Amino acid sequence: MCVWTQLLRFVSLFLLIVFTASSSSRPQWVLQRVPVVLPEETETRPAPHFLSPARLNVSSACDPECHRKAPRPSYWDLRQLLAYETLHSNGHLTETAIGIYGYNPNSDSSARSSSGSVTHAGRVRRKRQIFGHDGRFSIAGQTFLLKFPFSVAVKLSTGCSGTLVGDRHVLTAAHCVHDGKNYVKGAQRLRVGFLKLKQQDAHHSSLSFPSNFTNNVEGFRFSYTPPIHDKMKFQWIRAKRTHVPKGWIKGNANDIGMDYDYALLELKKPHKRRHMKLGVSPSAQRLPSRRVHFSGFDNDRSGQLVYRFCPAGEETPDLLYQHCDAQPGASGSGVYARMWDGRRRRWERKVIGVFSGHQWVERQGAPQDFNVAVKITPLKYAQICYWIKGNFVDCREG
């Protein structure tokens, strides 16, 4: 009996060592306490005009180095930048001042030392939205289209994309509803579209692959079927409220305004689909294979959901520059990562950013373009989570 006991202990110890080693080698979510962002005072503002069409691309004179060298906002600056406007479906507009509690400005420095090159040895890219070989692939059919995580991608009536982050909440880019000066045409009657299958396509599934696609992306194994893309439709739900941070409105998409290109929509009724959790963005070095995922509705592939799995490049404290092939219409897509949750003992996908679009800048005297995503920092996590939950108690760990 003693021998069997010792053998059992040895086997248990061996399995524990193997499991610990394999777990430690996995890219893991690091839970951290986040600050509290609370609304303090709300005032009515003049009704918007809703005159300008939504721009599906953004522009800024500030390149990654410019953003990195920008002075860090003070506490009082942050209170102004994180104050927000709320557009209601009846056209009523309010502005809310906020307070920040438990914020440590020295804890958010992960990207200050990043010095990687998003342009690969200085190669100039001239207003191209597909970099080299097109690495996107389209998804169609019930098997994958309605399967998590692809099912969390939605389309906005202004032409952008978004991601389900709550029972009735959609995360998107601010420029999809506001041009930096005023709310765009269609923002008051904003609708969110859920891609559905027509009845005759209920049992057909297909995927359209690029030639360099690997079968193990997203943990699925695929078999190829010629795609059928003419049997898709959208089911639309109206937005009840739209929250936009003042950092976007004040910045007007210039310089630091790019850092606040995000918005949250509250739907008039629950969507009844599984949504994706919100997460604080880790540094690019901690991302699995330094890559990110996102799905959206690119304009050049009408009625199709387009997915990409692509490398991250340079980063600043608030922005992530990637090499993700995309076209207008993908703006507002939720950028996410899949990592191990040690506390729950499972793999978790979390939205860590919002795809802003293609940024055209002059860099070292030459025109260059970047794919830009707004990172979800601890402060932004606290703000967006409060918008979703309505309290700060459920928003302390990101």
Give the three-state DSSP class for 256: helix
The Cα–Cα gap between 320 and 373 comes to: 5
- How many Cβ atoms from other residues are within 10 Å of residue 266's Cβ? 18
Please list, in sequence order, all residues whose beta carbon lies within 8 angstroms of the beta carbon of residue 261, skipping any fewer than 6 positions away: 58, 173, 174, 175, 248, 253, 354, 356, 374
8 A C-beta contact, residue 359 and residue 60:
yes
| Closest among 34, 59, 35, 64 to 284, alpha carbons compared | 64
The Cα–Cα gap between 253 and 348 comes to: 32
φ, ψ dihedrals at 389, nearest 5°: -85, -30
| Closest among 255, 273, 337 to 63, alpha carbons compared | 255
Give the three-state DSSP class for 378: helix
Q: How far is CA 164 from CA 114, 148, 306, 360, in A?
A: 30, 11, 16, 28
- How many Cβ atoms from other residues are within 10 Å of residue 75's Cβ? 9
- How many Cβ atoms from other residues are within 10 Å of residue 164's Cβ? 25
- Computed over its alpha carbons, how large is the radius of gyration of the chain? 22
8 A C-beta contact, residue 352 and residue 281:
yes
> Which helix (H) or strand (E) segment is 382 a member of?
helix 378-389
Q: What is the residue extent of each domain of the chain? A: 29-395
Residue 49 in tokens: 């005009």
Give the three-state DSSP class for 267: strand
pLDDT of amino acid 359: 73
The alpha carbon of residue 245 and the mean position of all alpha carbons in its chain are separated, in whole angstroms, by 16
The alpha carbon of residue 129 and the mean position of all alpha carbons in its chain are separated, in whole angstroms, by 18
Please list, in sequence order, all residues whose beta carbon lies within 8 angstroms of the beta carbon of residue 271, skipping any fewer than 6 positions away: 164, 167, 168, 192, 194, 237
Active site residues per annotation: 175, 255, 331
The Cα–Cα gap between 67 and 72 comes to: 10
pLDDT of amino acid 22: 38
The Cα–Cα gap between 354 and 117 comes to: 21
Residue type at position 258: M
The Cα–Cα gap between 267 and 89 comes to: 10
8 A C-beta contact, residue 114 and residue 210:
no
- Over the chain (398 residues), what is each successive 10-residue block's mean pLDDT? 40 34 65 92 94 78 77 91 96 96 69 37 41 62 77 94 97 94 93 78 47 46 43 87 94 66 96 93 91 90 86 89 83 94 90 87 70 94 97 88
The Cα–Cα gap between 334 and 133 comes to: 23
- How many Cβ atoms from other residues are within 10 Å of residue 178's Cβ? 26
pLDDT of amino acid 261: 94
Please list, in sequence order, all residues whose beta carbon lies within 8 angstroms of the beta carbon of residue 203, skipping any fewer than 6 positions away: 142
8 A C-beta contact, residue 231 and residue 198:
yes
Identify the burial level of 290 via C-beta atoms within 10 angstroms of its C-beta, where 0-12 means exposed, 13-18 middle and 19 or more buried: middle
The Cα–Cα gap between 292 and 270 comes to: 28
Residue 100 in tokens: 């920040």
